[in-house]
Copies of this chain bind each other. A is one copy, B any other.
């Protein structure tokens, strides 16, 4: 279902449901991923992981490992040469030196001729540890009396975790006038405020304050972290086949690790088996350093256990939210204390979390504090809308409880207070936000039977669910909208088709959408447009795929390149047809003189001319995207759940997700993003969470222990595509990838609250936790 706000929709390619170009190859199992490749002399890497969350390394004995025939080398932080300048970066200093900081911290790497031999070798490496005090609870870690997660040098630069790569918000100002006494485990603080929070509380007729807790959630991509690095004979040129979200960022990461100019690193485009934010340079530096050291191709493909122990999951959070509203439902005060657990290295983007929680509703008086804390757990990375599922769970739960307090319809409350285009952004960095569709999304779900007839919907559970309680929950969420620079080229092929040349990674079918954009610009069918990728040596620069910004920032570059190619094609045709460019149009794979039937030239003929006798040269269009601001994107979700009060078990029965996508370039691709995001959100809400014991031992190191949603956990999902066009994105498109995961935990928690009157304060809402709360 698509609800278009823009009446001007009249496109021939854009908006046309189109099959993914990579679909057949993937569905038939022909796609070859990085780990599937083989090279002569390829060595397999297996890591030796620390069993201790915090320990001193007294010694590493590799002799037994090296005695195994086929084990070629064992590297440690001492013996693996890497650039010294990145010692505070986990990925640039991937092996523990002196101390280990989490259970799963790589201590050594074994290289062997087969994967099995590497595994045998890793098991035979003997490491002598002296256990040290561990820091596990993120709140306790903030106390000045807490042990240190890891020693921090005085001169070590402050590890400020900005959200820059994901959004245009950055870390807000830290106000040091009020020096809280905090442990050095706190590595980032952001404080945003507006108005007068105390005046806000005085004005409020109802105030609620709640504390919410989440657990670390793993991206759980199908394809684990994977990379092969092939050095040249001189050890000067390296070619990487990486499951990475950014070709150019992977190149930078590897060049940094090897201290080489970027041009000596070549990163090949590879199909990616899922990433969700988790594949940004975690393994590239290590693999590059190994290949440089051994001068042979090295394959580092995580096992699932390695990925759960030594990946970079989403941060755990403890969030206290206090809201005050007037009796008419006007939100007048919002205070929040957000503590994000980064694990052993910085990266939790506390400032972004603060921005997110303050960018959903208008509120004149705010006081938001966000903290990043280090603990002895695996350090975190980006995962689909970093910080947003956590903060949306907290905010949307609190808002719903506030509505209960006010006796107000939660949808009415949200419509009344929703952020609108023209409002300032949460941290006031953008004084005037562009058009955004939060209200429109709320109006969409308001009209949906699940909301409109919710009393009736709740009245008749099926026989199977006799005794269960039915509830319907509403939640919203937003994402500021990433952006990036990009460039693209567009080439006319000898067969009259067109190739769009880009340096981005296709994670989600973006190639197909970009082909639609190019086809629209050129006046071609999508089948006549091919998307061509190649390595970093020659591609037009583009940023990494992530932050819901690929179509948004790459699309305009492709549009411009297609437009440039179109002009070049028309110029050649103009020479050949002896007609002015203005009188020409491209239709059905040919350039025709408008209004003169039969006077036309196929693109194939123009291609031949362009590479032979034309006076213009080959068609090679080019497009460059400047860096505008992001276009914020919002979603409103409805969840219908059934709760078994006897056991605390929850089933999601139905789901409606309205989202402002600006313009759906390829509607089924957008719907697919919403399906996937909601499914992952159900994981956040009900199932997923990395667990640690009091010594920091990971209790969830396999998929037997770490619960992912199965197909039967995911109900029918109805996506509603709301189109409030962006002034920047191609044909009005906004990002679509991140929003669908954001409101899910809140919507389900609110539905449970609706069903049983108890509001869960911790996700995942396991039967055990809900049962306990119900007692």
Could you write out 16 A-B pairs with CB less than 8 Å apart?
A28-B234, A40-B40, A252-B494, A261-B497, A263-B493, A263-B495, A485-B617, A489-B538, A489-B620, A534-B534, A541-B610, A568-B624, A613-B627, A614-B627, A615-B626, A620-B622
Question: Is A614's CB under 8 angstroms from B485's CB?
Answer: yes
Does residue A542 face the partner (Cβ distance < 8 Å to B)?
A: yes
Query: Which residue in chain B gives the minimum CB-CB distance to A29?
Result: B233
Residues 475-499 of A contacting B (Cβ, < 8 Å): 485-487, 489, 491, 493-495, 497, 499
A83 / chain B contacts, CB cutoff of 8 Å = none
Cα of A617 to Cα of B559 in the assembled complex, Å: 14
Query: Which residue in chain B gives the minimum CB-CB distance to A494?
Result: B262
User: Known interface pairs A534-B534, A535-B534. Does A540 touch B618 (Cβ–Cβ under 8 Å)?
Assistant: yes
A501 / chain B contacts, CB cutoff of 8 Å = 538
**CB-contact partner of A611 in B32, B261, B541, B621, under 8 A:** B541
Interface of A is mostly: loop
Does residue A512 face the partner (Cβ distance < 8 Å to B)?
A: no
A489 / chain B contacts, CB cutoff of 8 Å = 489, 538, 540, 620, 622
Residues 497-551 of A contacting B (Cβ, < 8 Å): 497, 499, 501, 530, 532-535, 537-543
A53 / chain B contacts, CB cutoff of 8 Å = none
Query: Which residue in chain B gives the minimum CB-CB distance to A568?
Result: B624
A617 / chain B contacts, CB cutoff of 8 Å = 485-487, 557, 624-627
Does residue A61 face the partner (Cβ distance < 8 Å to B)?
A: no
A30 / chain B contacts, CB cutoff of 8 Å = 232-234
Cα of A539 to Cα of B535 in the assembled complex, Å: 11
**CB-contact partner of A538 in B28, B539, B610, under 8 A:** B539
Does residue A114 face the partner (Cβ distance < 8 Å to B)?
A: no
Residues 6-48 of A contacting B (Cβ, < 8 Å): 25, 28, 30, 32, 38-40
Cα of A121 to Cα of B155 in the assembled complex, Å: 69
Does residue A430 face the partner (Cβ distance < 8 Å to B)?
A: no
A609–chain B nearest beta-carbon distance, Å? 10
Question: Is A618's CB under 8 angstroms from B538's CB?
Answer: no
Does residue A612 face the partner (Cβ distance < 8 Å to B)?
A: yes
Cα of A539 to Cα of B533 in the assembled complex, Å: 10
Question: Is B537's CB under 8 angstroms from A499's CB?
Answer: yes
Q: Fill in one digit per residue for A111-130: 1 if any B CB lies within 8 Å of its CB, else 0.
A: 00000000000000000000
Q: Which of A32, A252, A261 has the most CB of B within 10 A?
A: A261
Spell out A's residues near B (CB within 8 Å).
25, 28, 30, 32, 38-40, 232-234, 248, 252, 261-263, 485-487, 489, 491, 493-495, 497, 499, 501, 530, 532-535, 537-543, 557, 568, 610-622, 624-627
A612 / chain B contacts, CB cutoff of 8 Å = 485, 627
Cα of A516 to Cα of B485 in the assembled complex, Å: 29
Cα of A257 to Cα of B559 in the assembled complex, Å: 35
A262 / chain B contacts, CB cutoff of 8 Å = 493-495
A630–chain B nearest beta-carbon distance, Å? 14
Cα of A620 to Cα of B561 in the assembled complex, Å: 11
A234 / chain B contacts, CB cutoff of 8 Å = 25, 28, 30
- Give me 20 other A-B pairs in contact (C-beta within 8 A), A262-B494, A534-B534, A617-B626 excluded: A30-B233, A30-B234, A38-B40, A252-B494, A261-B495, A262-B495, A263-B532, A486-B617, A486-B618, A487-B618, A491-B541, A499-B537, A532-B538, A534-B535, A538-B538, A612-B627, A614-B626, A614-B627, A616-B624, A617-B624
**CB-contact partner of A499 in B38, B232, B538, B624, under 8 A:** B538
Cα of A625 to Cα of B32 in the assembled complex, Å: 38
A530 / chain B contacts, CB cutoff of 8 Å = 263
A566–chain B nearest beta-carbon distance, Å? 14
Question: Is B534's CB under 8 angstroms from A611's CB?
Answer: no
A495 / chain B contacts, CB cutoff of 8 Å = 261-263
Query: Which residue in chain B gives the minimum CB-CB distance to A39?
Result: B40
Cα of A501 to Cα of B539 in the assembled complex, Å: 9
A324–chain B nearest beta-carbon distance, Å? 38
A28 / chain B contacts, CB cutoff of 8 Å = 234
Q: Which of A252, A485, A568 has the most CB of B within 10 A?
A: A485
Query: Which residue in chain B gives the minimum CB-CB distance to A261?
Result: B495
**CB-contact partner of A534 in B261, B538, B542, under 8 A:** B538
Cα of A291 to Cα of B252 in the assembled complex, Å: 36
A485 / chain B contacts, CB cutoff of 8 Å = 610-612, 614, 617-618
Q: Which of A30, A489, A625 has the most CB of B within 10 A?
A: A489
A563–chain B nearest beta-carbon distance, Å? 13
A486 / chain B contacts, CB cutoff of 8 Å = 617-618
A261 / chain B contacts, CB cutoff of 8 Å = 495, 497
Cα of A534 to Cα of B261 in the assembled complex, Å: 19
Cα of A627 to Cα of B614 in the assembled complex, Å: 6
A-B pairs with the 5 shortest C-beta distances? A617-B624, A541-B618, A487-B620, A534-B538, A622-B622
A620 / chain B contacts, CB cutoff of 8 Å = 487, 489, 540-541, 622, 624
Cα of A568 to Cα of B234 in the assembled complex, Å: 35
Question: Is A537's CB under 8 angstroms from B532's CB?
Answer: yes
A438–chain B nearest beta-carbon distance, Å? 28
